[in-house]
Structure 1
Amino acid sequence: MSLSIYTYSNPYEISNEPYWDSIKNCAHFCVSQTMVNGLSEVYDELKNGQLTTVEELVKALYPGWFDTKTYIEQYTILTNTLDNVTPNIEQERWKKIKQSLRFNKSALLDSIRLMVEMGLLLKNLKIKKITEEQTYLIAAYNAILHGDKANKFSLRKHFSEKEIDSAVQTALVAKDQRRGKKIKSVGKVDCNTVVIHGVHQFTPIILSMIEEVSKYKRVVLLFNYQQQYSEIYQTWLDVYSCFDLNIKSQFNNEFKPTTLLQTSYEGNILADQIGKLTNGTLTEKSKDINNVSVIEFDNITEFSAYVAQIYEDAVEKYYADEQKKGSVLSYMREQFYSANSSVNDILKVYFPEQFGERHFLAYPIGHFFVAVTKMWNSENGGIKIEDMNDIAECLCSGALYEKKIGSLITTFNQTRNYFSRASMLEGDGGAEGVIDLLKKLKKQISKLNNGKIEYESQLNKLSYYKVSIDEIDELIEALESLNVITRLFYKDFEDEKNNFRHFYEKLKDFVETQILPTADAETEFQDILLRLLARLEEVEKIETTSTFDCLKDTMAYYLKQESQKGESANWIVRDFQQIDGDVLKSSTQESEIIYHFACVSDSDMNVKREDQFPWPLTIEFFEKAYEPLDWKYQVYIKSRKEFKHFKRYALLYGLEFNRCKFKLSYIKNNDDKENELYYILKLLGIKTERNVHDTTAPRQTREFTFDLGENTNGFGDLDYIRRRICGYRFALESLIENGTCYQDRFLQTKYFEIILANIVRRKLEGQIATEAIINEALDDVSERLSRYFRFLNESEITDIKSNAKNAIIHQALQGGKIKQFPKITDIDLDRMRKKEEFIYLHLENENQENVLFGKFYDMTVEEKKIFFPEKLKEASYSKEINIWCQWCAVREKCLESYKSLVEL
């Protein structure tokens, strides 16, 4: 094995190292694309096609291992193994364990793949020192190895020299091929020497690649090392010493920051201070860092808003520049590197285009397949509804016919409470399905329209009685189609294993004939569909046979369109592992560019990376339960343990070799914990200052205007009250919807309580007020009403009757003081009518103030003038936010009440 290790002191002067001439024309593979970019920027001699990433070489050498087809086959084999194994333990206990293993199947497979990559021999495992979960993992792995498909879990070894040559040359041109660029000739590249740059976190497969390549090639491992900051750089020596080779270094080119040099910057001086402090050789704090401060962001949301503003500015500059050099990220005035890159999870929501194109399953039609797969009950061979939102996803997908775009989901949302307790589409065994209940609703609406239901005025305020018969017929037809389509896809999986090929052939035909013809030719979605179909052309290669659950688990891997030619960075905030390459670009960038090192808190800088091993593997498993046989094992485990020291190195490296301005920041509060500034910065006396940048988006208040036209309906007292309470509610209910309509389940439940109390109150007028009489009336009326409120269960109806009873006793019987129900006056009737419209007529805020005080008084002549048509046309209808919002029938359209108090 021809393997050697070299270091360099200054990344800008690797060309001054004694070995440079022997490697500059060789094949170079970097730990990241950012390092590729950085080295290309600094060294012209590396622009001849010999520079790419380590990942490309790994994929070129082991293409099948990363293939989606391989992963699905492995997942299927693991699924079948877990289904067939019957350990000698109590049956109920095994049932629970099996459920847990199946829930964590992806993690189990990742663990098995890791063990394969590491070449673990189960005979060297100390079973007594592993956990129970690890015992089941090993048992599953052992069963696979002794099965007839063990070859699917083998990583190839013993390549020929010709195969290694081919892999190296393929890796060098792979990225250009994917981007559709002109492929550079690699004929002048010396592929007999392979140089690997900057790897600190070695993976088993990278180490296997190094071992295989070094059998025929000279392999040089290269990394930055500075003796002057030996304590911080010790992490590199600790990792590379596990190779058990001599590390060749010389330190003539070390960069020593000083204010006397023009190339030294404030950040370089700070790096020097950090390095010396860590070494224990700092004699006094430099005055040159007195003005350095760390920005304190209160939380990650505030930090993401700060980043978002800068990114949006960059987007604007990018599209304004006709030359367009580079990507949007290169136009950002601040380049972000974070010790905690979770901020990207927030930014991904606002800027999805920056984080790579969406997976096919992320589109509405993709949601359709996810939803129907989730609902299919393979045991009974039909749709089982556990979440009505799955039906909603199908109706929004565009896969089902509708006369007008959006009509299906609109009707569904208006009627969903009526059938919300249904657990299937079509009834079975006496249980009513959604379609059955919709047919009953049709009959009730017909009776209501013909005046044949006794509670006509009250029921007209429920959203599901406001839809037309035609709209319900359209929804029923769509749901019946959904049933047919779902059965077509999945009926083969009823209580048996099946070949996945048949499913994907049906899906391919459905996309080609039903979805693609309706896709807009000018949208990126059609391109996604075409690339998905290109992937599905390979369905004949699928030989996997397993259960429906396994198909469901692996769909996301197979239904991913082929990658688009051309690639861009899928991040906005880079992590610290990308600093070492990107910072080199600072030497050629404008001096106004700022390198922003974020999340420099103790908790983020000292993270131990608990997620470094897939469940159930742990560091203890590798340290105590296994006896390794080769050097690769030691290197891998050591690099995992050293991750906590890597960020410290990355921060120093970024500050020292940055040739532009810099910023530091940290997040004060995260996950309900208060973070402290990184202790090294605190020891240096670096101050913190609150974020003073305005990251709040400018609020533009848009007042609602409405063209009343020739309104001849006139207005009543209820309209006047709405206008007093909220202009926006008045506009929606009085001008557009012609009255209150309850769609929200919470409000419909409260409405049932109010009309129940009102009807009983009228029924008992003049009767003796005994508890038995009240209870009998409540039971009778609630039984007749409940057929129109099918979403309520018995427990809820019991609570409603109790609340209605208390309201009757309190209001009509003055808390029980009156023993006979009094005559209902006009004032009582007026109160009942207003309660049905506004739920509450008295609402107290936290200061015990009635916020509805004065809202229900009669209108004065002057006030009525604002309802003249010419006045209404000119009026604005602003939103009035208060505690009455939670009882407002249009709150789901308004959404104003969901804003935080801070925003308000």
Structure 2
Amino acid sequence: MKNVVITYTNPARLSETSAFTPFVNSLHLCATNSLRKGVTKYYQGKPAEYIHAPIVSAGMLFSKLLGSWSSPAVKMKQFTKLTKLMRGQENTWGRELCRAFRHNQIDVLQTMRTLAEIGTTPVELKPTSREEQLFQSVWGLMESSDSDFQRIRSRLGSAHNIEKRLREALSECLIDVSRLPEKITEIVLHGFYFITPLQYRVMSLFQNAGIRLVFLNLYDTRYPNSFRSVERFLSQWVPVEQWQIQQSIVVSEMSWGDVFASAYEEETRKSADAHFGPRVIQFEDFQTFLSHYEDHSERETYYSPEHENLNKRLKDYYPESYPDRHFLAYPIGQYLFHLHQMWDDQKRELVLNEKGLFECFSSGWLQIEEKNARNFTIMLEDVLPYFSSCSTLKEWRRQAELLKEVKLNAADAFENSGSRFHRMMGNPMLRFSFFKVKHTDIVLLLQFMEKLFTQAELLFGRKEIRLHEHFEQIAQLLAAGPDPETLAEEERELLEQLRKRLKLDFIDDESYYIDDVAQAVALYLGGEFNNELEEMTLPISKFEDVDAVAFMDREIHLCNLDEESLPYAVNSMPWPLTRQTVHGLQSRELEMLFIREDVSSSSARYLFYNVLAFAKQPVRLSWIRNKESKKLEESVYIMVLGLSPEKRSALFQTQDLEPAGCAKGNLEAVFQHLKSFPADAAAEFALCPRRFYYSFVVQPFASYRNEFHQQILYQNLLKASYALSDASTQEINAQLSAIFPHWPEVRKRYLAEEAQKYRNTFSKGYDRYESRNYVRGRRLFQLLVPSYPVDDKNLLEPANKAFQANVIDETLAKPIQDEKLMQLRANPSELCRFCPHLPVCIEGYYPADDKMRSFK
């Protein structure tokens, strides 16, 4: 039987397409899962069912037909094996070329898998470059050493028993196979406006088994430039002149789909009523888009050609909306991932960066007895600057011991007082965040670090290992983790699932280098090897899913339609093969890649037309103007509609709120308490009440984490030592340099030279507080600089006056009564750059914005 192409002009009026009527009882295979859902709901729902056969998506069916080939475990084993094979090629092909392959190894593996799926063999390849020669060599080794390649060739190489395999796959898809005819003689292929090499291969198997292919697709002869992709792909099976085409029905009112599609034809452009057209919105930035999403997500369905980036950003705000398929969404996944990220392939040893350490601490999977590292992340942030020069575990351990020693013998050498203010005024070392942490807490932090290092060494302590052995060690690590009863239900289920997979998926006796395993496991945990044929529902759907809007009764929002995202260009050449080499294979399956490149813009127009012509509810088209330091215009697809955009930029709205405050009975006690504060606190209040709030209300007193601030503190420490010590300048420089080993010597020499130039700025006078005298130069450790002139005005003058007055009743207790905000108001200025709280203050000024503010 000959294959057939049947076209329709309206997806929601398929019953009027008489050519399709004979096939309503035939197995219905939809190109996408979105189309499957739409067709099922619309044509198999109540009250009248039009399509009587099972409806399944291509991704769902092909995944079952391929068996374990698409599973994450098989891909991970193949990736690990490929890494091992690549390591053996360096002497022959050179390190640089092999390193390029390692950097693109996922693409290299995917190319091998694609070629195996369509039946191409390594000997058929005619390489034209060293990259392709290396690829051919490694591919041949991969084929001979991995039995999965042989199995997939056997599975997709013959149409023998294809109907039986098809029924088995449909049964695994949970399809009611009782609705199938006794013999499958035809399959309806719905919505294949483009066809992948794998799809072409499977369709060819169906055809070779005597199964008739009935292609069913939206098509309108009036707009060939918007339907060219449909023509190019489906004409590979049936010549266009043999298609059974449903002609367009002429209507008096044009849809906005007609307006759009006619703009790409030579005929006179059509117009429509703008009042009933799509609404165009220009969002100033992502936050403005987010504000709209928060208000409209219940009634709008979102699609975007940039869906991956948008979903990644939205997930930070709505993590509960993302049904994750991989372990990275959970603490245990983060912990295992960063453990495996610690292995450095170039250095061939364990390394650790600050981000990885922080993620391991915050995962909740690092604990010592009853203490969990998650509760010590703030202290970890305080001490991390001291480890800024560390990379290898040896360096981390050495620096950890030094921190304990310096904390005990230098930072804690000052008189220790029970009063926070006496500690603050008497010990300048406590202004460094890593010296402010208690010695006992530092010891505990270092114990957490050591446990992490020990676990990493357990996983990576051997040069070679089998996959199942490595996963047995992971299982031991999991068993030593938190009590499962303390975990959320989802994480408990995930943990049990992971344990089962570790036992079942990785039965392999081949040994691998540990660094090969580390990279593969990190990718595995990150979801890199997930089955690409399986589709999942996300808040922002991919643009291709608009093929089902005709069956939806919801408002449609196409977002992020800027000049860079649409129309999109598809570059589908398999790396590292060139177009010339791919052409030389003379494969009908690979020809699909060239066709898709040629008609990529037509495919995008096909989808855009689909939305504008058939959406039942209002349509919104939007883009984000400011994105990653670029100013972007709307997509040309929006431009051709000629609609004026609504500009959205005001994210923050002014609201009259009742000021929060203390209960009246507590006010007097608060003000009496404030009178006990030193002038240092009043000086900070005089500069910025918000800074005072963060420094003395939220915490005992402020310390500095930022390296810029700590370098100023280091200079001030030198100035204080020059002024108060009898030691020589060289001795002082050497002693302090030893306390700060994480900075390069050249930097410390520069800081010392600068400190010597301004050594006289340290005041040796004294201020009295509660019967004790404190050197006046301590102010440099609080405010960092003695003065800061701007336009002939010293911005530190309010603080200086508060210090001089030293009357807390007038400079702090009474002024604070006039404050209406619990957080106290901010007084932003150029001094914000010296404030330790700038990262958390939304009103703070950053130096990068100085020039912009000067123009206002």
Q: 1:471 to 1:677 in 2, by over 3 A?
A: closer
Alignment of 1:807 onto 2:758 = yes
Matched residue of 2:214: which SS? strand
Q: Kindly indicate whether the alpha-carbon contact (under 8 Å) linking 1:891 and 1:897 is maintained by their aligned counterparts in 2.
A: yes
Name the SS for the 1:790 alignment partner.
coil
In the other structure, the counterpart of 1:607 is 568
Aligned to 2:787: 842
Report the AA paired with residue 534 of structure 1: K
Contact map agreement 2:561 2:635 (CA 8 A) in 1:
yes
Structure 2 residue matching 1:228: 3-state secondary structure: coil
2:142 aligns with one of 134, 140, 144: 144
User: What letter corresponds to residue 257 of structure 2 in structure 1?
Assistant: A
The verdict on how the C-alpha distance between 1:230 and 1:412 changes in structure 2, with shifts beyond 3 A counting, is closer
Q: Give the corresponding residue for 1:484.
A: 454
Q: Give the counterpart of 1:432 among 398, 402, 417.
A: 398
User: What pairs up with 1:186-265 in 2 under 5 angstroms?
Assistant: 186-187=179-180, 191-216=184-209, 217-243=211-237, 245=239, 248-252=242-246, 254-259=248-253
Asked whether 1:275 is paired with 2:221, we answer no
- Single out whichever of 161-170 and 866-875 deviates more from structure 2: 866-875
Question: 800-809 vs 184-193, which deviates more?
Answer: 184-193
Kindly indicate whether residue 594 of structure 2 is the aligned counterpart of residue 596 of structure 1.
Answer: no
Aligned to 2:280, what secondary structure does the other structure show?
strand
Equivalent residue for 2:721? 759
Aligned-partner Cα distance in 1 for 2:617–2:208? 43
Query: Within the alignment, does 1:507 sit opposite 2:474 as a pair?
Result: yes
SS for the counterpart of 2:732 is helix
> Shift in Å at residue 29 of structure 1?
1.0
What is the CA deviation profile of residues 203-260 of structure 1, one whole-angstrom value per residue up to 9, with x for unaligned ones? 111111111122332222221211122332233112222336566434455243423x
* Residues 594 and 421 of structure 1: CA distance in aligned 2, closer, same or farther (over 3 Å): closer
Match of 1:880 in 2: 827
Counterpart position of 2:166? 168
Among 37, 59, 62, the residue aligned to 2:63: 59
Task: Note the residue ranges of structure 2 that are not aligned, 5 or more in a row.
Answer: 418-422, 768-772
The answer to whether the 8 A contact 1:57-1:167 is kept is: no
Letter in 2 for 1:416: L
Shift of the alpha carbon at 1:504? 0.6
1:641 aligns with 2:598: yes
- 1:663 corresponds, among 597, 610, 620, to 620
Conserved? CA contact 1:116–1:153, under 8 Å: no
Aligned length: 820
Task: Provide, for residues 603-658 of structure 1, a one-character-per-residue CA deviation record: whole Å limited to 9, x for no partner.
Answer: 43332123x345334545434xx140x53333343133312211112212222222
| Matching residue's letter, 2:501 | R
Over residues 678-724 of structure 1, what are the superposed CA-to-partner deviations in whole Å (9 max), with x where a residue is unaligned? 5566556x132332485557889897868876849812211110111
**Partner residue in 1 for 2:684:** 722
Cα offsets for 1:140-184 (capped at 9, x unmatched)? 22343455758458533467878433443344454558xxxxx68
- The 8 Å contact of residues 163 and 184 in structure 2, kept in 1 or not, is answered as yes
User: In the aligned structure 2, how far is the partner of 1:702 from the partner of 1:637?
Assistant: 64
Matched residues in 2 for 1:199 and 1:743: separation?
Answer: 57
Amino acid of the residue matched to residue 34 of structure 1?
S
Amino acid at match of 1:883: E
* 1:336 aligned onto 2:330: no
Q: Give how far 1:885 is off.
A: 2.3
Q: Give the equivalent residue in structure 2 for 1:50.
A: 54
The structural deviation recorded for 1:472 is: 2.8
CA drift at 1:425: 4.3
Offset at 1:424?
4.3
Aligned residue in 2 for 1:69: 73
Question: Of 538, 548, 555, which residue of structure 2 is paired with 1:571?
Answer: 538
Question: Secondary structure at the residue paired with 2:68?
Answer: helix
> CA distance change for structure 1 residues 256 and 480 in 2, over 3 Å: closer, same or farther?
same
The DSSP-based 3-state class of the residue aligned with 1:536 is helix
Question: Which residue of structure 1 lines up, in the alignment, with residue 99 of structure 2?
Answer: 99
| Counterpart-to-counterpart distance in 2, 1:743 and 1:558 | 35
- CA 1:485–1:46 in 2, change beyond 3 Å: closer, same or farther? farther
Judged with a 3 Å threshold, the aligned counterparts in structure 2 of structure 1 residues 793 and 242 are, in CA distance, closer, same or farther, namely same
The match for 2:770 is none
**Quick check: 2:116–2:153 contact (8 Å CA) kept in 1?**
yes
8 Å contact kept, 2:8–2:219:
yes
Separation (CA, whole Å) in 1 of partners of 2:158 and 2:126? 35
The aligned counterpart of 2:643 is 687
**For the Cα contact (< 8 Å) 1:226–1:254, is it kept in 2?**
yes
In the alignment, is the contact (CA less than 8 A) between 1:50 and 1:189 conserved in 2? no
Tell me the distance in 2 between the aligned counterparts of 1:148 and 1:668: 49
Task: Indicate the residue corresponding to 1:10 in structure 2.
Answer: 10
User: Could you tell me how far apart the structure 2 residues matched to 1:578 and 1:55 are?
Assistant: 13
Matched-pair contact (CA < 8 Å) for 1:79–1:550: yes
Q: 1:379 to 1:730 in 2, by over 3 A?
A: closer
Deviation at 1:410, TM superposition (A): 3.6
Relative distance call for 1:675 and 1:377 in structure 2 (3 A) is closer
Name the stretch that deviates more: 748-757 or 250-259. 250-259
Residue identity opposite 1:878 in structure 2: R
> Residues 474 and 70 from structure 1, CA distance in 2 versus in 1: closer, same or farther, beyond 3 angstroms?
same
Alpha carbons 1:866, 1:872 under 8 Å: kept: no
Tell me: CA distance 1:674–1:280, structure 2 relative to 1, closer, same or farther (3 Å). Answer: farther
What's the % identity of the aligned pairs?
Answer: 18
The whole-number CA distance in structure 2 between the counterparts of 1:702 and 1:372 is: 49
SS at structure 1 position matched to 2:154: coil
CA-based RMSD of the aligned residues comes to: 4.1
Q: Cα offset for 1:303?
A: 6.3
More displaced stretch, 215-224 vs 205-214:
215-224
Contact in 2 for aligned 1:49/1:185 (Cα 8 Å): no
Q: 1:478 to 1:446 in 2, by over 3 A?
A: same
In structure 2, distance between residues paired with 1:252 and 1:553: 53
Deviates more, 1:138-147 or 1:856-865: 856-865
Q: The residue matched to 1:344 in structure 2 has which SS?
A: helix
**Secondary structure, in 3 states, of the residue corresponding to 2:224?**
helix
The aligned residue for residue 852 of structure 1 is: 796
Task: Name the structure 1 match of 2:85.
Answer: 81
The structure-2 alpha-carbon separation of the partners of 1:784 and 1:415, relative to structure 1 and needing over 3 Å to count, comes to same
- Structure 1 residue 30: deviation in Å? 0.5
Find the counterpart in structure 2 of residue 467 from structure 1. Answer: 437
Residue range with higher mean Cα deviation, 115-124 or 347-356: 115-124
Which secondary structure state, in structure 2, belongs to the residue aligned with residue 19 of structure 1? helix
- Tell me the distance in 2 between the aligned counterparts of 1:383 and 1:152: 36
Q: Is the CA contact 2:686–2:811 (under 8 Å) kept in the aligned structure 1?
A: no
What is the deviation of 1:439? 4.8
The answer to whether the 8 Å contact 2:344/2:515 transfers is no
Structure 1 197/483 Cα, relative in aligned 2: closer, same or farther at 3 Å?
same
CA separation in 1, counterparts of 2:556 and 2:449? Answer: 55
The alignment partner of 2:6 has SS state of strand
1:87 shift after superposition: 5.7
Contact 1:305 1:695 in 2 (8 A): no
**TM-score (structure 1 length as normaliser):** 0.80
Deviates more, 1:613-622 or 1:146-155: 146-155
Partner in structure 1 of residue 420 of structure 2: none
| CA deviation vs aligned residue, 1:275-332 (integer Å, no higher than 9, x gap) | 33433222x65363487576252556256325522455x1xxxxxxxxxxxxxxxxx2
